Amino acid sequence: MAPSTPGSPSGTDGAPARGVAWHALPAGVALERLGSGEQGLTDEQARERLSRHGPNVLERQKREGPLTLLWRQVNSPFIWVLIVSSVLAVLMGKVTDGLVVAVVVVLNTLIGFAQEFRAGKAIEALSRMVPETATVVRGARKVVPAAELVPGDVVSLAAGDKVPADMRLLSSRNLQVEEAALTGESVPSAKQAAPVAEDAELGDRTSLVFGGTLVTSGAALAVVVATGGDTELGRINALLGEATDLQTPLTKALGVIAKVITVAILAVSLLLLGVGLWRGYPVSEAVVVAITLAVAAIPEGLPAIVTIALAIGVQRMAARRAVIRKLPAVETLGSTTVICSDKTGTLTRNEMTVQALWTPSARYSLTGVGYAPRGALCRGEQLVGPVLLPDDARELLLAGALCNDASLRGEDGAWEMTGDPTEGALVVAAEKAGLHVEAERGVHPRLDAIPFESENQFMATLHDDGRGGRLLLLKGAPEVVMRRCVARPGVSHEVVATEVERLARQGMRVLAVASRRLSGTHASVALEDVEAGLELLGLEGMLDPPREEAIAAVRACHEAGIVVKMMTGDHLATAEAIGASLGLHAPGTKGLPGARLEAMDDAELNEVAECTNVFARVAPEHKLRLVRALQARRHVVAMTGDGVNDAPALKQANIGVAMGITGTAVSKEAADVVLTDDNFASIAAAVEEGRRVYDNLIKSLAFVLPTNLGLALILLFGVAFFPIQDFGGGREPLMAMLPTQLLWINLVATVSLALPLAFEARESDIMRRGPRHPDEPVLSHFVVMRTGLVALLMAAGGIGLFLWEYSHELMHVGHARALAEAQTMAVNTVISFQIFYMVMCRTLTGSLRKVGLFSNPTVFMGIGMLVLLQLAFMYVPFMREVFGTAPLSLEAIGLSVLVGVVVVPVVGLEKWLRGRGDGRPVAPPRREENKSSAGPRERLPA
């Protein structure tokens, strides 16, 4: 809800005024505006408002039906050409050829349909965040379905409840709400009924509670101010609908290739049809030749090769803790130029940890102690300690652990923390100092307590000091505690305030701890006991520390030319300090708060998004705008996160990465990748794997395309120059290959040989290159030139051996047998070229010695499998009948192998001339350097 003037008009009929700043209104005024009271609504009022406002549910956006998904698979240039070719072949009497082409179409369509049918469940996951029931006050307290809540309903909240709608607090006691999934805050937010400033950002609106969040402690009464789509959760739901699924760089590039190849095939097929008719071909034969050219030139196996190569990448990424939900995400990771990351739980541990102590006599840094966070303790890691500290520091830590409701329990090295994360950090710190907290609590039993109230900003406990007296302990906000402490030499308010500011600049949350000795007659503690006379023990500074592996991962990303930006709902000072410790920007560099982003137009935001690496207090729409701004600057954006507030940006980003452990169901459903270990370092590993996949896909493409062009050239040459002869009373042109034989080469042989390239290991410099430009064509000058060179060699070898075999056998056998043997010879020759050229494609520009001849055993498995299939193609009667082949002699087979091996020295010479044998890949187009204060160190040629 956007802030507005608290006095803006609104009726009293229960219709919440759009834009009303409910957090800035006194509770009584909010009730009046909503036409409600402390006893809530009547049942009749609730029914009337429900009919007017609708149920408290999130609208589910309509998903695409199966027919729509199926049509999208069919509606592509390649598929349409194949469908037309299949129909024409059947009409011309070539039923077998037509059916084989039809089977290819069906298989490709089913594979694509199966991939897409499993996507698109983010909205359903959001709707599951709304609880099923709520306790309302309608004259008397009653439990009603949460879907029936309406504006003006008064709701009772208790610890463990999921908040059912956006509500204005009327009263509260010790209320703390976990809002990390919505705001990004790493600790529960203390809530109170008092109004806050009208311009307060979402995370600072302490008088409001939001639907979908969780009450961790305390109790409250609140009035509903927004339901369903009008809630903050509903707003995110709408943003998810606005976010668009983008094509990946590879899918866009392959789409362009498909259109170019399709147009070229249609043009050449029509030209070939005209040439055939001009040369005297019968109409049916001229049409069949044109169809054959289309079948030859279309890389039917390419979709299967791409899909299987990406699937292999999925398996390898899963082994590196990154689960891929959408296949194209594998390749997109490799082209990422910017990673936008949430802070809490992604770059940091999502565990508060004491980092520094201050006592009136000294400062103590605990950053190197190695505190185990709560999550780590649950996984069975042992506590590391004890840490040797002086008495004053130990006294401070003991007081913080006694004035505390959290507990650390476990045995045999397996520990579990229960309670508030901030209090848990104090307990862990004491344990690390060698203080056995539970034992100390037995020595100093608690007699009474004043629980933490957000209005008071402190907690006080009374303990038996073990010597017949009483020990009063107080912990809370430093300014609140200091007002109650007696002055001591060297411990003035100014000295303490300076130290608090120093720790705050490092992003720490600071608590002050004080004590007071009381007589043994005190059995309870009252507010007047903590008004004055306390002695300051010191300060404890804590923060949610960066993951150590995240620091190394950020450095690896920078070396790979990838900029890392942090977007968090936390406070600006905390975000800046964490950003500096992670290496996102230089120490002292300023970040930007969400309030500043709100006032920027798109042009200004685009510039800021490029130059700033830390953004704090950002709302979901800010993250969405920042991702779009970076995409407008031609960046390929990966967005990481774990909360509901991250979901719209996760969906909008080119690649969405969700946390598998702490991530909400909404973030996981909106993402393309889920990290099973919540480790930012796994993103760097996934980027490396994505680059390897892309490299290998380019190798596969460079291998596949020469075959299609070579086959097309063989047919073109035949139509233009082969004689048309009379056989059996009809004129019949010579054809070097039948349509079914072309499909055998395109699907069986090509796929068998291209797939081993997907298993090639990564190049040694893959993470020292800059990201490739999103506009970089897949069909680069290098790939086009290589395709033309190999295609000419393949066509020359295939045509030459076809003519040699046909003329040689025609003297001994009839035309039909001679033609079948010659066509089989041409197929064998092309496949021999493919085998040797595939080996040369294992590295596109370097020597084969660079990768090692036997480093990829699947190469030889693929060759062996194809050899067996080719033997069946020539010698199994059923196969000969389907494909129109004939058995060849060993002499003929050996001749085709000798011709095929010619590609090795020719391509080797081309590699040497192009790269002088150093194995350096061709440099991609260079992107303008990011101007942020920290980022890629250099962009090496890829």
Q: Please check whether residue 18 is in contact with residue 11, taking contact to mean a CB–CB distance below 8 angstroms.
A: no
Question: How far is it, in rounded angstroms, from Cα 270 to Cα 716?
Answer: 12
Report the Cα–Cα distance between both ends of the chain, in Å, rounded. 47
3-state secondary structure 540-574: EEEECCECHHHHHHHHHHHHCCCEEEEECCCCHHH
Q: Please check whether residue 222 is in contact with residue 170, taking contact to mean a CB–CB distance below 8 angstroms.
A: yes
Question: How far is it, in rounded angstroms, from Cα 276 to Cα 293?
Answer: 12
The phi and psi torsions of 887 (rounded to 5 degrees) equal: -70, 145
| Residue 152: closest CA among 34, 56, 26 | 34
| Residue 462: closest CA among 402, 406, 421, 513 | 402
Q: Can you spell out the DSSP letters for 799-864?
A: HHHHHHHHHHHHTTS-HHHHHHHHHHHHHHHHHHHHHHHHHHTTSSSS-HHHH-TTS-THHHHHHH
Report CA dihedral (266, 267, 269, 273) to the nearest 10 degrees: 130
Question: How far is it, in rounded angstroms, from Cα 199 to Cα 184?
Answer: 19
Question: How far is it, in rounded angstroms, from Cα 792 to Cα 557?
Answer: 42
Q: What are the angstrom distances between the C-alpha of 270 and each of 739, 832, 926?
A: 17, 30, 40
Q: Please check whether residue 690 is in contact with residue 330, taking contact to mean a CB–CB distance below 8 angstroms.
A: yes
The one catalytic residue among 153, 161, 166, 342:
342
Q: Please check whether residue 612 is in contact with residue 598, taking contact to mean a CB–CB distance below 8 angstroms.
A: no
Q: Can you spell out the DSSP letters for 665-685?
A: HHHHHH-SEEETT--THHHHH
| Residue 663: closest CA among 639, 690, 628, 689 | 639
- C-alpha triplet 37, 39, 45: angle, nearest 5°: 75
Q: What are the angstrom distances between the C-alpha of 5 and each of 8, 14, 71, 223, 224?
A: 5, 19, 51, 20, 19
Tokens coding 549:
């592996």
Strands in 544-654 per DSSP E = 563-567, 592-593, 614-616, 637-641
Residues 6 or more apart whose CB falls under 8 angstroms from that of 521 comprise none
Is 570 catalytic? The answer is: no
| Residue 666: closest CA among 116, 91, 181 | 181
Question: How far is it, in rounded angstroms, from Cα 155 to Cα 149?
Answer: 9
Residues 6 or more apart whose CB falls under 8 angstroms from that of 118 comprise none
Question: How far is it, in rounded angstroms, from Cα 429 to Cα 421?
Answer: 12
| Residue 432: closest CA among 351, 362, 366, 509 | 366
Q: Which residue has the tokens 């049918």?
A: 117
Catalytic residue numbers, as ranges: 342
